Amino acid sequence: MLETICSGCGEQVPPGSKFCNQCGTPVGAPPQAPLTVPDDLAWKIDADRESMEGERKQITVLFADVRGSMELAEKLDPESWRELMNRFFQVLADAVHHADGTVDEIETTHTLSPEQIGWFRAGSALSVLRSGQSG
């Protein structure tokens, strides 16, 4: 039996599984709808697309920790948990869009190393290297 690819997160799902082990999406479920972007922001992005290609930009990274999320996840079935978290991600995306920002990626299971935390505190990895504080 072949492994399938999860329509929710793109991870491989072991043969015989009914749900993705990574995100809880039912096997064979239709792909998740992407986060919505307000029409006026989408228009602005499309209008500026040519001038933005290859452009170097300062970015902002948003970190959010959902307090008690693991305890809550244990109490909910995978579909309910996924639906709840998708609503949370949409609230975060709406806040970013309100500031005319865009959401490139949402990562749900990332742990930062002490070195990465230092990069964010310094503003960037390049700032750390320039100051000679690396390593």
Query: How far is it, in rounded angstroms, from Cα 89 to Cα 134?
Result: 33
- What is the separation of C-alpha 88 from the centre of its chain, rounded to a whole number of angstroms? 11
- Helix and strand numbers (H, E) in the chain are 5, 2
CA triple 124-60-11, angle to 5 deg:
95
- For 28, half-sphere exposure in the C-beta direction (CA atoms, 13 angstrom radius) is 4
Is the distance from CB of 18 to CB of 32 less than 8 angstroms?
A: no
Question: pLDDT tens, position by position, for the chain (135 residues)?
Answer: 566 888 877 888 888 888 888 777 788 877 766 677 778 877 877 777 776 666 677 777 777 777 788 788 888 887 888 888 888 888 888 888 888 888 877 777 656 667 766 766 676 666 666 776 555
What pLDDT, on a 0 to 100 scale, did the predictor assign at position 53? 67
